[in-house]
A = this chain, B = another copy of it.
Amino acid sequence: MPDFTDHLKPRYDGTATLQAERDASTINVRDLANHLLSRDGFLQAQDRVLKVLSNEKLFKKDQQLNLSRPERYHLGLARAKAIRRIGRTQGWGDKEYAMAEYLNDEMSPYFLHMSMFVTTVREQGSEEQQAYWMPQILNYDIIGCYAQTELGHGSNVRGLETTAKWDPVKKEFEIHSPYLTASKWWNGSMGRTATHAIVVAQLLLPKKGSKTDDDEYQSHGPQPFIVQIRDTKTHQPLDGIVVGDIGPKYGYASMDNGYMLFDHHRVAKSAMLSRYAEVSDETGALNRRGHPAVVYGSLTFVRGQIIMHARLILARAVTIAVRYCSIRRQFKDRDSTSPADEELKVLDYPTVQIRILPLLATTFALHYTGEMMYNLYHKTRQTIEKGDFGMLAELHSASSGLKSLCTMLAADGIETCRRAMGGHGFGGGSGLVGTNADYLSKPTVEGDNWMITQQVASYLIKKMTHAVANLDAPPKDPTDELFQFYLKNRAHRIPQTVAHDGEYDDQAIVDVFQWRAADLSYRAYHARVVEKKPWTKLMIQLHNLSRAYSEQILVTTFFNSFHETATSLSGPTPGVLKTCFRLYALFTLDAFASSFTLTNAVAPDSIYSLSDAILDLMTELRPHAVKLVDAWSIPDWLLDSALGRSDGKVYEELYDMAHRRNPLNRVTFNPDWRSDEIVLGSGDGGRHILAKL
């Protein structure tokens, strides 16, 4: 309906503002985008798949925030299915399917089928089992999920309560949930979608000589079983199985995270995935074969993917914040004397910069470490296939520490960006409501961010113990090298100064991060190995060690990229990336100053000048901010943010969403408290809404 607002314009033109920002920097956006995202033809796949999905009405994101959680699952399933059908028509491969998930930007009810279910069958199924299951899986004839976590146990997999008891007479397993807390819980795709599940259960085998008595069974730890859970025709749970969706959560509205219990449910012997372990028909004993480290490899891969994804999710929030804060104006400069002065862009306030620009720098820090992890993973994979498991521990430790650090940086960064955008940051037009809620799962899943830092610390203590005893052995990896260097130099350490009067010592920056990590490793080693302190008492210290070690990886890897960026990028870009390096590093150093002074990494007095150095670096970075986020190449369709639109039409879009696309505005209400009618003229006395409670 036309009205007088149709031709109103915002006070300032956002499009012109962003154009002026872009004109003020000579960064070549296309070159930088290619530098960041050309691996595996990412940018081309993005263009290709975006064109297809953005033309399908089913994938319109417009009304998502107006749907109820049950509706979001309906929509999620409809989209998951449509992606398969579209992919067949378009001839998509794995790369395009993955891109479709990324652009669709919600957890697919098929997600676990495509990830843990297929991976587990492929990695842990015998050849026979793979021959039987893989065609059905790849064809999506069955839909699978991965049922490991339970109501009572997540992190501690050895504590799982579900049992799989071997019946030596019938040669079957009996899967059972002895407690309520044995209920499988959180398992994605299981609530309403899956027909099959990998069920991880404690394998119970009769003790030698015994046949039936419960007391005579012994647990051989968690093992994976492939189990049909729903009828192929009716999609109802099979007898002896209770399964459903656990209900609304913070995010993941489209995903049917589920619960499942078993009542002495019997499955054939072939249900147990038997590439690495099999129960003997004759003896009832467990025969193990092969190296179980492959399971770690799979977890490491998932963590690696989360690390690589962190840069893109943080880049999204930073893109929105940088663009909006370049357009948003509020207050004149307090010292302004001319009435003609315009209000300042809020990105020109240091109090806004200090929240957004270090995060902009962090996206690049995350980038180079993500790429490093990708390479390390594939290199390790190759050596493992040659039977050499030597690199696995380093990879596992790095992936644990970085998963913890990077997801925390990204999750906290999203919220920091949101708050920096003031009132509109709280609105649906921020584009961060769903992103934020979904991403908040990441600090918890695949190893809780605090819990897994113990694995890093444990590894580093082991490495330090080895280094202390073998000071001159040839180093096997960068950690050995660092620890040997530390041990040889700790007696005569000179604390460094990293920034002085606008001069930066990049090599010293790397040194202080490495030194601090090494020193904290030594302290942990000393407390645990020499003083024999209880592990639990040390846990906070160990957590801080993991963080320091992982920060050292980010800083070192970023520094190591200089050679590559200097040769492959032109104009001001290599210099601007160096500014990002310094800003990320100095911001981190400032935030954890006492850890750097405690470890003799930096000179205590040099800490106090960091805030001026950080201000200077932000001033250097500021003119390039819009072009730097442009380089991350997040399509408007994915951003789904009025504030972050690449054309700067922030206010036009916010208004359009409110005035023309908000379904609540199509209803007229009765505000009179004396009446129990809610919709004016409906006379329903509120029964409609009461029925939903």
Contact B425 A444 (CB under 8 A): yes
A67 to B242, CA, bound (A): 25
Contact A427 B330 (CB under 8 A): no
Sample 7 A-B pairs with CB under 8 A, ordered by A number. Answer: A73-B664, A152-B329, A152-B651, A244-B664, A250-B426, A335-B535, A418-B440
10 nearest A-B residue pairs (beta carbon): A65-B248, A84-B673, A68-B68, A4-B263, A334-B535, A8-B180, A244-B665, A593-B594, A248-B428, A81-B673
* Residue A209 lies at the interface, judged by CB distance under 8 Å to chain B: no
Query: Inside 8 A of A149's CB, which chain B residues have their CB?
Result: 423
Q: How many copies does the complex hold?
A: 2
A658 to B246, CA, bound (A): 4
* Residue A478 lies at the interface, judged by CB distance under 8 Å to chain B: no
A10 to B177, CA, bound (A): 11
Query: Inside 8 A of A658's CB, which chain B residues have their CB?
Result: 244-247, 259
A585-612: which residues lie under 8 A (CB-CB) from chain B?
590, 593-594, 597-598, 604, 607-608, 611
Contact A71 B689 (CB under 8 A): yes
Contact of A690 among B58, B594, B680 (CB under 8 A): B58
* Residue A9 lies at the interface, judged by CB distance under 8 Å to chain B: yes
A242-296: which residues lie under 8 A (CB-CB) from chain B?
242, 244-251, 256, 259, 261, 263
Contact B422 A10 (CB under 8 A): no
* Residue A657 lies at the interface, judged by CB distance under 8 Å to chain B: yes
* Residue A534 lies at the interface, judged by CB distance under 8 Å to chain B: yes
* Residue A191 lies at the interface, judged by CB distance under 8 Å to chain B: yes
Contact A678 B74 (CB under 8 A): yes
A351 to B538, CA, bound (A): 9
Contact A541 B85 (CB under 8 A): no
Min CB distance A616 to B, Å, is 11
Contact B77 A678 (CB under 8 A): yes
A330 to B195, CA, bound (A): 30
* Residue A462 lies at the interface, judged by CB distance under 8 Å to chain B: no
Query: Inside 8 A of A671's CB, which chain B residues have their CB?
Result: 77, 81, 109, 143, 192-195, 235
Query: Inside 8 A of A234's CB, which chain B residues have their CB?
Result: 668, 680
Contact A594 B608 (CB under 8 A): yes
Give the interface centre of A185, A441, A692, A693 by most chain B CB atoms within 10 Å: A693
Query: Inside 8 A of A62's CB, which chain B residues have their CB?
Result: 693
A195-B671, A671-B194 are known contacts. Are A662 and B244 too (CB-CB below 8 A)?
yes
* Residue A156 lies at the interface, judged by CB distance under 8 Å to chain B: yes
A419 to B8, CA, bound (A): 45
Contact B608 A349 (CB under 8 A): no
Min CB distance A607 to B, Å, is 5
Contact A428 B536 (CB under 8 A): no
A134-188: which residues lie under 8 A (CB-CB) from chain B?
140, 143, 149, 151-156, 159, 161, 177, 179-183, 185-186
* Residue A669 lies at the interface, judged by CB distance under 8 Å to chain B: yes
A67 to B607, CA, bound (A): 51
A423 to B689, CA, bound (A): 31
Contact A78 B665 (CB under 8 A): no
* Residue A688 lies at the interface, judged by CB distance under 8 Å to chain B: yes
Query: Inside 8 A of A179's CB, which chain B residues have their CB?
Result: 8-11
Contact B422 A673 (CB under 8 A): no
A635 to B589, CA, bound (A): 44
Query: Inside 8 A of A70's CB, which chain B residues have their CB?
Result: 66, 663-664, 667
A195 to B154, CA, bound (A): 52
A420-455: which residues lie under 8 A (CB-CB) from chain B?
420, 422-423, 425-429, 433, 436, 440-441, 443-445, 448-451
Contact of A657 among B3, B247, B418 (CB under 8 A): B247
